[in-house]
């Protein structure tokens, strides 16, 4: 198979497996998505979805969030890990959204990445899933699979993102990055890797290190 044929095969199989791709993190608007994505760093989506209802019951917008103390936020989000950093980020970015953006989450990579505790991946998720702007957030599953499929060198997520954007059509990025995540979780985990189960890797690539 040529590289182009491999890319097309991946897209076809992912579309067959996951024609519909729900956003993994429960949210109702860009602000609650931003907070959920921030909390998901080094934490499972399942756990985040158990914690955010508790937090959003008290504050589901920046104006209510800044009425809480960082300690109160930290106590709620502690099960997500990294609670000192995350609570500080949530409190700080809520203030900035009010002071600089009229309480709204900006639909801009630069503006999002200026917010505390918001890196490029978090900004990419918000841009893609909240605003529908093409982005290709790279998480551990995407980084691992892009390498296993010989689509990237695997040196770092920055290079993996560049390679993904180069290989896949821009209009598919927002759906495709979720399809790859779902495939990674179901068929190609970091541990217990099996070519028999991971049929896409068996078909197009043989790199199994990540």
CATH of the domain at 197: 1.10.1670.10
Is the domain of 43 the same as that of 91? yes
What does the radius of gyration of the chain's CA atoms come to, in whole angstroms? 18
For residue 178, tell me if it sits in a domain: yes
Q: Which of 67, 100, 131 is the last residue of a domain?
A: 131
Is the domain of 140 the same as that of 199? yes
Is the domain of 175 the same as that of 200? yes
Is the domain of 115 the same as that of 171? no
Is the domain of 126 the same as that of 145? no
What is the predicted pLDDT for the residue at 206? Answer: 64
For residue 210, tell me if it sits in a domain: no
The candidate with the shortest Cα–Cα distance to 7, out of 209, 163, 181, is 163
Is the domain of 146 the same as that of 115? no
Q: Is 29 one of the annotated active-site residues of the chain? A: no
Is residue 155 over pLDDT 90? no
Q: Cα(77)–Cα(85) distance, rounded to whole angstroms? A: 11
Q: Considering the entire predicted model, what is its pTM?
A: 0.92
Q: Cα(48)–Cα(53) distance, rounded to whole angstroms? A: 9
What is the predicted pLDDT for the residue at 210? Answer: 44
What is the predicted pLDDT for the residue at 207? Answer: 56
Phi, then psi, of 119 in degrees rounded to 5: -100, -170
pLDDT tens, position by position, 2-28: 999 999 999 999 999 999 999 999 999
Is the domain of 64 the same as that of 47? yes
What is the predicted pLDDT for the residue at 193? Answer: 83
Q: Cα(116)–Cα(63) distance, rounded to whole angstroms? A: 17
pLDDT band at 191 (very low <50, low <70, confident <90, very high): confident
Q: Cα(10)–Cα(55) distance, rounded to whole angstroms? A: 38
Q: Is 88 one of the annotated active-site residues of the chain? A: no
> Taking residues 122-127, what's their average pLDDT?
98
Is residue 208 over pLDDT 60? no
The one catalytic residue in 88, 139, 165, 203 is 139
User: Domain holding 67: CATH number?
Assistant: 1.10.340.30
> Taking residues 119-137, what's their average pLDDT?
97
For residue 189, tell me if it sits in a domain: yes
Is the domain of 85 the same as that of 175? no
pLDDT band at 151 (very low <50, low <70, confident <90, very high): very high
Is the domain of 124 the same as that of 186? no
Domain that holds residue 107: 30-131
Number of domains in the chain: 2
Tokens coding 35: 């907070």
> Taking residues 120-129, what's their average pLDDT?
97
Q: What is the mean pLDDT of the chain?
A: 95
Q: For residue 86, give every residue at least 6 positions away whose Cβ sits within 8 Å of its Cβ, in sequence order, or none.
A: 38, 39, 41, 74, 77, 80, 117
For residue 209, tell me if it sits in a domain: no
For residue 98, tell me if it sits in a domain: yes
The one catalytic residue in 6, 60, 121, 163 is 121
């Amino acid at each position: 198979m040529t590289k182009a044929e491999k890319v097309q095969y991946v897209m076809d199989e992912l579309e067959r497996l996951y024609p519909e791709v729900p956003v993994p993190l429960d949210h109702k608007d860009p602000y609650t998505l931003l907070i959920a994505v921030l909390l998901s760093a080094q934490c499972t989506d399942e756990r985040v979805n158990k914690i955010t209802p508790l937090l959003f019951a008290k504050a589901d917008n920046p104006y209510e969030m800044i009425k809480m103390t960082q300690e109160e936020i930290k106590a709620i989000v502690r099960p997500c890990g990294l609670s000192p950093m995350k609570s500080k980020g949530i409190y700080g970015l809520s203030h900035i959204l009010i002071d600089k953006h009229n309480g709204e989450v900006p639909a801009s990579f630069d503006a999002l990445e200026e917010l505390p505790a918001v890196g490029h991946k978090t900004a990419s998720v918000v841009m893609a899933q909240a605003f529908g702007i093409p982005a290709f957030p790279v998480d551990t599953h995407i980084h691992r699979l892009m390498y296993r499929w010989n689509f990237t060198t695997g040196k770092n997520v920055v290079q993996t993102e560049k390679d993904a954007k180069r290989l896949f059509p821009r209009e598919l990025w927002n759906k495709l990055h979720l399809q790859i995540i779902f495939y990674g979780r179901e068929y190609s985990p970091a541990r217990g890797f099996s070519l028999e189960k991971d049929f896409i890797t068996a078909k197009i690539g043989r790199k199994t290190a990540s």
